[in-house]
Amino acid sequence: MIADFFMAFLPELVLLTGALVLFVVCLGEGRERLARFVALGTALLAGAGALLTLTQKHTLFDGVYAVDSFSQLLKLVVASGFACVLLLDDRLTDIREDVRPEYFLFLTLSVCGLAMLVSAIELITLVVALELSSFPLYLLVPMRREHQGQRAQMESAIKYVMFGVAANGIMLFGMSYLFGLTGSTSLPVLLVKLQPILHTPLAIAALALTFCGLFYKLAVFPFHFWTPDVYQSASNAVTGLIASVPKIGAVAVLIRLVSLAAPESQTLALLVTVLAVASMFYGNLIALQQKDFKRLLGFSSIAHAGYALIGFVALDQAGYTAALYYIIGYLFMVLACFAVICRVSTDGANLAIEDLAGLHRRAPLLAITLVTGVFALAGLPPFVGFTGKLSLLSAALSRGHLALVVIAVINTAIAAYYYLSVVREAFFRDAGDRPAIALGWPTRVLCLALIASIVALGVAPARLFDLISASLGCVSLPF
């Protein structure tokens, strides 16, 4: 019995142990290299633990924590994203030298919270895991080294915290209504008790308010205001983390919560449709004017949150599968862009799009990584972005949302313009006096792995689709 518990909880135990070891490491000075080694080992062992427990099925801690193929698959993805983030920047030139070991500690704690988030099947547990994943990020943003007396990272960190507190407060308010309507905080119980009253305005309002904390994580309009400033002001590696891994946890929990609604819930479908359309148009139109690459990716992430929401409009398993597939693909797409940012920016400063000029001559592997990530974000075949968008639009169209599909296609065309402007700089501009970029083996391994993932998931998506679809059978869905 105890052995089964430890086996089921293995990825979380690895992450917690890694965090404890990093805490001890942080007590000394000049231990950045050791902290990096411990964090990377923790990421690899957590991924191995998730892979070993992929077929496990347990309910832990008196029914508030589920270990099943759905949660373990996502923990494997989260651990993979964690390892990629650790390899983004092996110099950490943009993190203050005195806090670099703490950087790895907070990174590990945030990932631990995300691993717990995907297993939470009870509202209070969900909130605790959500806060564990969020608070370390609030501390990571202001760790950036000052540039020419500028302290924009402090302002962005405050904005990040304030918006996070507001969104979580609204979410807790919605959860209080769910508890008042059903007398329970357990998601399986909520699923049963909400069905007879789901058509009532109070039940719909309770669900909508509960979604707010997750919309904030995804940067869905109108919970997006923190996004461009935090992306621009945080260090490159921290922004890479914020832009990728937390979105996996947000979509996973959103699936558990949206599944409380029946497929016939037109009011909820309309609400998600409006948010998806607003996010796509806002993110893509504002991104057209951006010159800072990270800020462009910030507005782009708002648009991609809108794309992901298209899967939830269908309110069925095909839509949830497409949404989860898309956000997993997005993790690799955006990390490919940040791998380039971290290496091209030699001193950790922000990267203007024009700074990518002549990249195909300065670092051919980085140029290929960039074009792969950007083309995938634009939704061009044969990359995962194209396959993901196609699956999302197919799921929405099958439920009769033709207008939404047309709007999504229009937004894809808008986004192609600013994505192609990045490719133009990298391949069709002269490098001038910009020097060549030397790449170490960790960067080469990361770039090749990201390129392979983006292409493989786009060309042969069937295996991942089947895994996601089968894992969704572990989630209590009303169909």
User: Tell me: the pLDDT tens digits for 75-126?
Assistant: 999 999 999 999 987 777 788 878 888 999 999 999 999 999 999 888 999 9
pLDDT at position 474 is 63
In sequence order, what DSSP letters do the residues of 369-385 get, joined into one string?
HHHHHHHHHHT-TTSHH
SS3 144: strand
Whether 150 has a pLDDT exceeding 80, the answer reads no
Q: What are the start-end ranges of the H helices in 429-461? A: 441-459
Closest by CA to 70, choosing from 249, 316, 246, is: 249
**Whether the bond into 222 is cis, omega within 30 of 0:** yes
Q: Compute CA distances 249 → 66, 125, 129, 200, 230, whole Å.
A: 14, 14, 10, 29, 19
Whether 423 has a pLDDT exceeding 60, the answer reads yes
With tokens 């809108």, the residue in question is: 306
Whether 455 has a pLDDT exceeding 90, the answer reads yes
Amino acid at 77: V
Q: Compute CA distances 246 → 81, 214, 237, 302, whole Å.
A: 10, 10, 14, 14
Range picked from 34-48, 152-166, 191-205 for highest mean pLDDT? 34-48
- Cβ neighbours, 10 Å, residue 74: 26
- Given a contact cutoff of 8 angstroms between Cβ atoms, the answer to whether 330 and 403 are in contact is no
Average pLDDT (6-32) is 88
pLDDT at position 223 is 85
Within 13 A of 460's CA, how many CA atoms are on the CB side? 4
Both tokens of 364, joined, read: 């051919």
Q: Is residue 121 packed enough to be buried (19+ CB in 10 Å), middle (13-18) or exposed (0-12)?
A: buried
User: Tell me: the pLDDT tens digits for 196-223?
Assistant: 887 888 888 888 898 888 888 888 988 8
> Which phi and psi (to 5°) does residue 189 adopt?
-70, -40
Cα–Cα distance for residue pair 429/427, rounded to 1 Å: 6
pLDDT at position 470 is 86
> Which phi and psi (to 5°) does residue 66 adopt?
-105, 130
Whole-prediction pTM = 0.92
Where residue 478 falls among pLDDT bands split at 50, 70, 90?
Answer: very low
In sequence order, what DSSP letters do the residues of 267-284 get, joined into one string?
HHHHHHHHHHHHHHHHHH
Cα–Cα distance for residue pair 384/455, rounded to 1 Å: 6
Where residue 479 falls among pLDDT bands split at 50, 70, 90?
Answer: very low
Both tokens of 331, joined, read: 């993790």
- Given a contact cutoff of 8 angstroms between Cβ atoms, the answer to whether 305 and 368 are in contact is no
Q: Compute CA distances 146 → 99, 152, 165, 228, 293, whole Å.
A: 13, 8, 26, 19, 19
